[in-house]
Structure 1
């Protein structure tokens, strides 16, 4: 959080309203979780975001800082490494990411934007956190906690494979600690028509202070009701809260200045906890909410697990709620248009553009003449190594909710140096949806066919879902088996 005037507490309230064990142990014992006119009746249940996974994200940010001079500050290598890691993580989950570069007095900085496929692009819900630290320390509470929470919300959404009503955009801001430079740069350079599409911006900056408070941004511009959605969530969890006017201390201010509704939560920075607050929240009165605010000691030990967990789930609640909020008039009351029969929903289905639109193991998408493509020159060649390896190729695709008969089809040829009836080497055709992997068919070294054959599988169970089509091979340590896939398609029928 950017240093500014101490926030003014307003209207204290008497209401009370889920990678690794190693990373988890690094936290101190003791982490949280639209418009009033909105129709949210179709909103999915709020997720229980994994505190263990979010803690693992914090540990990664801490490791990046440790490997880069102890910080992740703008203009320093630790910040760029943080951007690169978050981008790669979101790319692998199926997001479309954009890196926006800009200059500061401390050197080059970057904003990272990530969008989920689907959703109405005329109604954008943005969720953000600043990714930079100060130069004096690693910035784990400020603002590794906010960044980790936003990242975990984005990854959990991807695992569930849902299509939102609105366009989901996640932001990781640079140079916040220099004065909100990243978010200001983004908004200043965003076309007016694009600004007008942003329905709400949710900001999360410091969520795990060790002497925590539970503060809700006192922003309720034009009766948008975001503030009240957050307090209602806290009430439902019996978490006492207070309003706070964070003024221009964080990136929400860059949106509020353009009249965009904003909201957020905050666990406290350098301010002092009062006796009344200690009575209802626990902790120590007369001490800062975060005694390591903007100091070198803002490390993994400077995060309260209970506060972080509670605020993490509040982040998830607000993202899920806003994802399906109705803003204005829906684009159409007619059923969505089904693509014409035979339309291929996969991009680059014959691999002739190399790895474009596909996520694949290095060298798996190839124009090598050692195994011929069915058509053209490129194909997906899995296996053929003659040693213990696992390779894959995958692409995400959205199946229309009103698809008549969605089908996955592909051509495959196989050859092997193995013999006998034991399946030593395999290739599985899989669908990943909502964190569940289903194998549609398994090929092996048994019964290989060096002539391309067509295979098809119904995808009717995935109507209205965003799924990942995946081809994955596994070879043992001995003789080779090659699985060559070409001319893939997903049609709505």
Structure 2
């Protein structure tokens, strides 16, 4: 959590032992599971090991942070998430955000959960904020393993450089078009959820139409856990979302401020002692985490994730012209597309089919994997639904042996289908259009994926442009 610029007394807002009424929402797909605190502690042990091996920290711009991000990304990739890494510059050097999308759900209604992955430079940052990162990671893995089909699109963000001023989450929001920002229905933030002298705080952020704050307080009340509202203002990454009017909430177990005697009586802690005496210090290790507080908060995350995955935000009709893909010709750069950074380019080395931008996958001449993804919903009323794209290829390979490939795939309900495979064999430097029917997926969320694999020698370039998912 970013260091406070406010007096501690200004941070804690109204206290409540009985939650106000929660806004009603449809029943979740299934009861949220009991998230394993043992698994989350194993994640924390891994983050501690990474810090220990990299100078004792996981700070932005340093090797420990990148190692942390790569480890989390590997877990999410293996679970079936579509991940993308954003690079941005800071005073500490280049660092990264990791964004993970679960295939499926209405892409026009996004429920997003996030936590910052970086530590301060003086310590490993296990409570701040290994606990939040490990907590949402284990929830993401549990959601993937559950087999549920969410009504809404689920996305997780692991932010870099929070400790330098919320830079990662601000950068992410700056890259989204207004239309993409408008699709985010809710952002939930989890920063320091295992403090050793814990309180149970709920973000007091409640823009019009946001029942998330009340749902969190109702959850804690149902478990017999007293809670307090807190206005964390600009101390964590929810602020980047709140500034655009996106409803936000989250939980927090306290940082450098001291627990009052009333709070100690309520929560069984130690009055006059900081909620986290190791805040922003070298002693913020795995020994600096309260397992009970961690367990309670990761289950609260699960409750909110499963509930809001199925909230009915309504349906959005396809845009005029029938193409439900956004930024289909890539002329807005990487906007609306997830996947490999830099794969969408305006480089003049390869011509676009139309305009200046296109997707260029491969052409590296070395072992590599690149991908691009976008999720759309095929209306249940559609009578036609076709995926189309223009592609040109060129290669330095010779002969009839397949070395390099690009697959055009769709992912529906976690099941991946390859529609066509292009390779270094039979290439054409002239753009050719291909079309595939998606009508079998009426009423479903479909993730369109371009997946390129190149071997260790001789390049093959796959250049794609002017894509469409046309419905009528």
Within the candidate set 398, 401, 410, 2:412 is matched to 398
Structure 1 residue 338: Cα displacement: 9.8
Unaligned runs of 5+ in 1: 18-33, 345-352, 354-367, 370-375, 380-394, 402-406, 409-463, 467-493
* Alignment-derived partner of residue 3 in structure 1: 3
4+ runs of 1 displaced by more than 6 Å?
Answer: 332-335, 337-340
> What is the aligned partner in structure 2 of residue 122 from structure 1?
108
Which structure has the larger Rg? 1
Q: 2 CA distance for matches of 1:64 and 1:271?
A: 28
Matches within 5 A, 1:378-397: none
What are the within-5 Å matches in structure 2 for residues 214-229 of structure 1?
214-229=200-215
Residue correspondence of structure 1 range 341-356 to structure 2 within 5 A: none
Match of 2:163 in 1: 177
Q: Is residue 289 of structure 1 aligned with residue 275 of structure 2?
A: yes
Instruction: Tell me whether 1:55 sits opposite 2:41 in the alignment.
Output: yes
The answer on whether the counterparts of 1:35 and 1:224 sit within 8 Å (CA) in structure 2 is no
Query: Residue 13 of structure 1 is aligned with which of 12, 16, 41?
Result: 16
Paired with 2:304 and 2:60, the residues of 1 have a C-alpha distance of 29
Partner of 1:15, secondary structure, is coil
Map residues 308-347 of structure 1 onto 2, 5 A cutoff: 308-329=294-315, 336=380
Matched, 1:159 2:145: yes
Q: 1:239 to 1:42 in 2, by over 3 A?
A: closer
Asked if the contact 2:261/2:271 (under 8 Å) is kept, the reply is yes
Q: Distance in 1 between matches of 2:112 and 2:184?
A: 7
Where does residue 91 of structure 1 map in the other structure? 77
Offset of residue 42 of structure 1: 4.5
Matched residue count: 349
Q: Aligned in 2, Cα 1:170/1:399: closer, same or farther, shift over 3 Å?
A: closer
Distance, in Å, in 2 between the alignment partners of 1:281 and 1:93 is 36
User: Which residue number corresponds to residue 303 of structure 1?
Assistant: 289
Provide the C-alpha distance between the structure 1 equivalents of 2:150 and 2:413, rounded to a whole number of angstroms: 13
Q: C-alpha displacement at 1:212, in angstroms?
A: 0.2
Q: Pairwise CA RMSD of aligned residues? A: 3.4
Look up the SS of the partner of 1:239 in the other structure: coil
TM-score between the two structures when normalised by the length of structure 2 = 0.68
> What does residue 179 of structure 2 align with?
193
Query: Residue 67 of structure 1 is aligned with which of 49, 53, 56?
Result: 53
2:112 maps to 1:134: no
Structure 1 length normalisation: TM-score? Answer: 0.65
Extract unaligned runs of 5+ from structure 2.
Answer: 319-376, 388-392, 394-398, 419-443, 447-472
Shift of 1:223: 3.5
Aligned mates of 1:199, 1:138 — CA distance in 2:
33
Is contact 2:207–2:247 with CA below 8 Å preserved after alignment?
yes
Q: Which residue of 1 is the match for residue 463 of structure 2?
A: none
Mapped to 2, the partners of 1:334 and 1:174 lie a distance apart of 34
Contact 2:17 2:221 (8 Å CA) reproduced: no
